[in-house]
Amino acid sequence: MAEATVRTAAPLDKARILQWLQTYGVYAGVALLLIVNIVITPHFLSAENFRTQAVQVAPVIIVALGMALVIGTEGVDLSVGAVMALAASVLALYLGYGLLPALIAVALFAAVAGLANGALVALLGVQPIVATLALMVGGRGIALVMLPQLEDLHNPSLASLGSGDIVGVPYLILIAAALAVLIAFVVRRTTFGRQLLAIGDSRPAAQLAGLPVRRVLMVVYVVSGLLAAVAGVLATARLQASDPTSLGNLMELSAITAVVVGGTPLTGGRISIGGTVAGAVLIQLLTATLIKHDLPPSWTQIAQAIVIVCAVYAARGRGKR
Amino acid sequence: MQRSIHRPHLLARPVVVALAAAVALTASACTKSEDDGSDKQKSSASADTEQKVVTPKAGSKTCTIDAYGAKKIDLKNATVGFSQSEKEANPFRIAETQSMKDEAKKRGVKLLTANAQSQFSKQISDVQDLLAKGADLLVIAPLNSDGWEPVFKAAAAKKVPIVTVDRKINATACKDYVSFIASDFVEQGRRAADQMIEATGGKGEVAILLGSAGNNVTTERTKGFKERIAEKAPDLKVVFEQTGDFAREKGQQVTEQLVQSKPGIKGIYAENDEMGLGAVAALKGAGKKAGAVKIVTVDGTRNAVNAIVDGWISGVVESNPRFGPLAFQTLDSFTQGKEVAEDIIIQDSAYTSDNAKQDVGKAY
């Protein structure tokens, strides 16, 4: 009897630990990296440094927020990097009319891109990975046709968007923070958020329950496209140049990593926005640590892979509800 | 030097976009034709900007048409095929392709072009396409150094001579291909080191923004730089080497980390102009003054040379992309039966604060 109890108790504890790791592991990881850096990295503990890390991670967070919504519906959006490039191209082309008209044009393009993804997934029932792959490849192509090479931008409003601040906090950080709060609110407190999670949990069940499955999915992909465009605009503003060739390269992978490491399961039905933000910060700190200590760039990739494997392992204990 | 690019054409935009979508759909499937409407103002190839050859050392190997085993033809009646490796999305590739087109036009030679869009398998099929379309002579800007056997076989079957430009193919000269025309990347690294030594006074800590990993340009520009520093300025220490992937944004991000963790950094050697301009953006963002950190780059694009004029960049070592005249001259001599050198090394110039202002017109 005693033996049997031990045997059943052990896996339970393991499952509990895994569950804790999946939910809080990413915060623990961020805390650990912060402590390690404060101890070993010269000049780490400075406002200037934290500002740099936050500014660099802001576009990743913004893209990852959209990715979290998509993954919450048991989908994935591979086109986010291409949409960033598209945003950069459109911004450069329309900047002659002024910043606001250019931003409206960018939003229109991004919404169309998102609609295209959404239509394929929601109306035609194409697998999200395939549907968004098309735009991932084609989107950058279109961006490059519109703007074949890097172009310097000399718009004062755009420059101040990229480098300005309010009492020392850069606009980029404020925008990313505001969007994170907004998306978290949508997920937790709105009907739309609940419908989204219900669809991710089980699309057939959501359909049977009479939820507007197609409409919700369309909106989710449009939001993901719009957020990617915001990130593209901010990155372009910071660089003061539109670079459709390399802007947003591999961003889809960074965003998916942030979401998964942050404890949102790829199987849908559950979203952690706090975890997603922390996941992006974790990867940023990891990269910064390795760069600051001048370790070979290949180490960064290996370290990221290890973090992903840990996250996926932690997620193993908890699939669909 | 800002081009006025924001000319609004309200009606033209939707058309451009529709075309864009159409072109994007077909771009990966078809080879580009000769006249795809490239920017003509870029092609101001005066004699001044033409590539000059380093005087070959005595006894360096040459190749003739008899040794190679091809037929003599008149270049004027020939069709030349040019296979470009990367998309014309950076100034180097744009200038390179344009220079080939300009020279073909000048000589009245029919030119077929193809662009592999950075996919090696596409480049192999591009070249085979060019052969099928009747190219008598080939100029290849290879994406990779290895894996060209199928192309050599196909070209040899048709007795089509090949000249490679800017990157070398690992194969036998005067058998698999005729000549290789390029800059000496190790030498570019050495000359960048010379400029860095002069700018910093040969003392202090410097950083390297490396190009993409696994690329011979990166390896050789790094090798030359480090060799020369070790040899001439042992007090100059390379304390930081991180990749910026030849891209401006990555150069900016890496430099931001650099100036925070090593505020005493004296100089930054960027292995291309774009990363150097990214470093400039990062230094501006960190509130540094122009010239506080010495930046030396390689390429010679207009933006970088302008940054010398503004005081942000100390020196730019040129890597001349205008291969057209030299490639056609080589093909011309070769097809007439004259001797041509197997390795043709270009004499690259350089820009510093002394000549940046008057020579900015030569930059691409």
Q: Which residues of B fall within a CB distance of 8 Å from A95?
A: 6
- Closest CB to B24 among A95, A145, A148: A145
Q: Region B2-12: what's the mean pLDDT?
A: 42
- Cβ neighbourhood burial of A75 (10 Å; 0-12, 13-18, 19+): buried
Closest by Cβ to B249, choosing from A95, A96, A246: A246
* Partner residue opposite B8 with nearest CB, options A97, A149, A151: A97
For each of the domains in chain B, give its residue range(s) and CATH number, in order of start. 39-182+321-347 (3.40.50.2300), 185-319 (3.40.50.2300)
What pTM, to 2 d.p., does this model score?
A: 0.82
The ipTM assigned to this model is: 0.85
Residue A5 vs residues A1, A8, B79: alpha-carbon distances, Å: 6, 5, 84
A38: Cβ–Cβ under 8 A, 6 or more apart, which residues? A44, A45
Question: Which DSSP string corresponds to A140-173?
Answer: HHHHHHHS-S-EE---HHHHHHHH-EETTEEHHH
Nearest to A235, CA basis, from A290, A175, A317: A175
The DSSP element (H or E) to which A119 belongs, if any, is none
- The answer to whether residues B346 and B53 touch, using CB atoms and an 8 Å cutoff, is yes
Across the range B143-152, mean pLDDT stands at: 89
Chain-chain contact of A145 with B23 (C-beta, under 8 angstroms) = yes
Contact B27 A141 (CB under 8 A): yes
Token reading at B155:
């070209």
Q: How many CB atoms lie within 10 A of CB A300?
A: 19
User: How much is the pLDDT for A137?
Assistant: 92
Per-residue pLDDT averaged across B168-193, rounded? Answer: 91
Q: Which residues of B touch A142 (CB under 8 A)?
A: 17, 20-21, 24
Residues of B in contact with A291 (CB under 8 A): 242, 254, 257-258, 261
Q: How confident is the model at residue A18 (pLDDT cuts 50, 70, 90)?
A: confident
- Please tell me what DSSP assigns to residue B361: G
Hey, which residues does B182 pair with through a beta bridge? B345
d(CA B190, CA B237) in angstroms, rounded, equals: 15
The answer to whether residue B11 scores a pLDDT higher than 50 is no
Question: For chain A, which residues make up each domain, given as ranges?
Answer: 11-316
Using CA atoms, how far apart are residues A75 and A195, in angstroms rounded to an integer?
15
Question: Confidence class of residue A179 from pLDDT cuts 50, 70 and 90?
Answer: very high
Tell me the shortest Cα–Cα distance from A153 to chain B, in angstroms.
Answer: 9
Give the mean model confidence (pLDDT) for residues A290-304: 86
Cβ-contact B297, B275 below 8 angstroms: yes
Search chain A and give the residue with CA nearest B38: A148
Which is more confident, A168 or B72?
A168
Say if residues B231 and A228 touch (Cβ distance below 8 Å): no
Contacts of B330 (CB under 8 A, 6+ apart): B163, B178, B179, B181, B340, B344
Per DSSP, the residues of A41-98 read STT-SSHHHHHHHHHHHHHHHHHHHHHHHHHHTT---TTHHHHHHHHHHHHHHHGGG-
To the nearest 10 degrees (0 to 180), the angle between helices A213-239 and A171-189 is 170
Chain-chain contact of A142 with B21 (C-beta, under 8 angstroms)? yes
d(CA B263, nearest CA chain A) in Å: 9
Fold that domain A11-316 belongs to in CATH:
ABC transporter involved in vitamin B12 uptake, BtuC (1.10.3470)
Q: How many CB pairs under 8 A join A and B?
A: 109
